[in-house]
Structure 1
Amino acid sequence: MIYIDETEPDHEEFEPVFEQRNVTVKQDKDVKEEYNLYEELGRGKFGTVYKCEEKASGRVLAAKFITTNRAVDRKDVEREVEIMRVLQHPRLLQLYDAFDDGKKQMCIILELIEGGELFERVIDDDFVLTEKVCAIFMKQICEGIGYMHSQNILHLDMKPENVLCLSKTGNRIKLIDFGLAIKFDPLKKIQILFGTPEFVSPEVVNFDRVSYGTDMWSVGVICYTLLSGLSPFMGDSVLETMANVTKAAFDFNDESFEPITDEAKDFICQLLVKDRTERMSATNCLHHPWLREDKKKEVAQLNKTKLKKFVTRRRWQKAVNTILALKRMGAVIVP
């Protein structure tokens, strides 16, 4: 059985994975001149990721290739690089290098995270999931989001797939994928039309002003699902899901919540609030009784049956989305 270390992070963990780097995109340069590319680690609608090794240092990293057929695609990658330059924090994926071959592809070199997605890991039959463990993970998510917000950056794509474990055995996580992140100016009205229906906030669905609270809503949905295996606003269709989100109506009536403490439920209730200005900030979350380290958490093992079903459904959705993205890029899919 895998029992997670429930101690708080020590000072060594806050040592950087590599030296602080002021990354700029290297123009008209092939990444293969400086890096050896190895096996593919994954792919999605935004690109393909490979394991790689820096020739000069021998450091093992991850190379994310993004197709940039249009000028706007190149701008998006440049924006992601600029944002990641600012996000130097232990809870956030770190940027190491960036290349533009001058043709139709860009590559960003990233810290390599090998522990896999958080939800994929905790559903393992040998993994002992308790409310205390959930609180440990949620605290780190709030630390990462809190740092982003302190730098006036919104993630805007918070979902389980974007929370990775540093290792297969430890209890540390990192937030990834800043491709949709934006620099936030409170004086400007920013509206967005993207996101995953189950995790987007009411203001996104209503095409209203987004803010720091937009990320916090998604954190609340992740917490609800991690504790219960249920998706609080999931409907039988995308339209029904979005309608449920706009109502912001949810409950804890399922039997999955019977062993969950009132503190945990209160934590969720203060995030899944329709009015974005009334939601807890990331800083407030870290001061909530449920996340305070001096508070004893429920240690009963949680039933993961529904969480396994949730992850299986998300796997299927990701596979379908990847195939559709590849087809849009002109790939021929062979059954």
Structure 2
Amino acid sequence: MAKNRFLALKVCADTEEKKPSYDREVATLSMLKKDWHPNIIAFGSAFKDRDQLCVSLELANMSLEDALRDTNKLDVETAKHIATGIARGISHLHGHQILHRDIKPENVLLTGAFSNHAIISDFGLSISLKNKPMGVRGECGTTRYRAPEMRGMNYYSYPIDVYAYGVTVYRIVGGQFPVQGGLGQLTNMEAKGLVGQLMDKVVGSRLEIDKALEHSFFQVLELDQKSNSSSGGSSKRPLDGVTVQGHDTKRARHDNGDVLEGMYDSVHISFSARPIGQIHSLEVIKHTLTVDDDHPCSSI
């Protein structure tokens, strides 16, 4: 008996411009798959189809950016819950010496029945800091989330992710971006104290991500029990065994008229022909993965 599983397929053209981002994302996801974490997007596989580069990933309900567009800001308890998940994901990345370099609501996806389980995605700018004690150089990421030390040719390290996380927390609690020189839009004093330490312009004074999780802002999360029992976040499994490649070519037509082709082994891909987002020039397409009970994908 076949089962349907929904995944996201990210597709980009195999060009000199986009290949480096694709390679970084696949390298990071492949490494993280060996030590999967529930606050990091689950990775299925990567493959090339003619002139297209593809990555199959866990499909989320929406991005945090989508949620903020709908509501402007989140209620405090939901904000705490989502912010905790993001921090845990960043902590996992840093524990594996990975710098994300583009933490922002658009790159945080929400899953679960209540859409309150946060997973970090989009590793096209990520870089390993292994054997790089001084950090790395080079401006990248999104301007409004960029730490001051990234300007010019300064070396930078893990604190830049913390700064971007601080801007993200500010947005989900305050409903807008920080204004230059103050945190006046934050009425929650605990949130204001936390964000002030996360966005400290002095790198050495900026809060480390693990210390951030100990801040009083995160104490007593009323949503913990409801989310753990109902949202599926804590029981979510990595996409072990998902390998969408092989010999049988399946075709689907996208909204823009392009025909997507892929080669798959033992699985049937049924595309919905509807884009659900675009991040780093990688088009995200929702599709159904239909597998037999005895196929490795059936445990996803």
Q: Which category describes the TM-score, using the shorter chain as reference length?
A: 0.5 to 0.7
More off after superposition, 199-208 vs 139-148: 199-208
Instruction: Say if 1:120 and 1:59 are closer, same or farther in 2 by CA, change over 3 A.
Output: closer
| SS at structure 1 position matched to 2:153 | coil
Q: Is the 8 A contact 1:68 1:106 kept in 2?
A: yes
Q: Distance in 1 between matches of 2:138 and 2:74?
A: 35
Q: Distance in 2 between matches of 1:219 and 1:82?
A: 23
List per-residue Cα deviations over 1:33-58 (Å, max 9, x = no partner).
xxxxxxxxxxxxxxxxxxxxxxx974
- Runs (4 or more) in structure 1 with deviation over 6 Å come to none
**Superposition pairs for residues 1-335 of structure 1, below 5 Å?**
58-70=4-16, 73-87=18-32, 88-101=36-49, 103-113=50-60, 115-122=61-68, 124=70, 129-167=74-112, 169-185=114-130, 186-233=132-179, 250-254=181-185, 257-258=186-187, 260=188, 262-293=189-220
List per-residue Cα deviations over 1:109-134 (Å, max 9, x = no partner).
11111x21224225546x99322221
Indicate the RMSD between aligned Cα atoms, in angstroms: 2.7
The answer for unaligned runs of 5 or more in structure 1 is 1-55, 234-248, 297-321, 327-335
- CA drift of 1:292 comes to 2.4
- CA drift of 1:89 comes to 1.0
| AA aligned opposite 1:209 | Y
Q: Is the 8 A contact 1:116 1:167 kept in 2?
A: no
Q: Which has the higher contact order (CA 8 A, sep 6+)?
A: 2
| SS at structure 1 position matched to 2:143 | coil
Q: Is the 8 A contact 2:80 2:221 kept in 1?
A: no
- Larger strand share, 1 or 2: 2
Instruction: Say if 1:285 and 1:225 are closer, same or farther in 2 by CA, change over 3 A.
Output: same
Q: Distance in 2 between matches of 1:294 and 1:165?
A: 17
Q: Report the counterpart of residue 5 of structure 1 in structure 2.
A: none
- CA drift of 1:285 comes to 0.8
- CA drift of 1:152 comes to 0.3
Structure 2 length normalisation: TM-score?
Answer: 0.66
**Number of paired residues?**
221
| AA aligned opposite 2:10 | K
Q: Distance in 2 between matches of 1:112 and 1:171?
A: 14
- Larger helix share, 1 or 2: 1
- CA drift of 1:172 comes to 1.0
| AA aligned opposite 2:208 | S
The answer for unaligned runs of 5 or more in structure 2 is 224-277, 283-300
Percentage of matched positions with identical amino acids: 29
Q: Distance in 2 between matches of 1:152 and 1:192?
A: 18
Instruction: Say if 1:208 and 1:92 are closer, same or farther in 2 by CA, change over 3 A.
Output: same
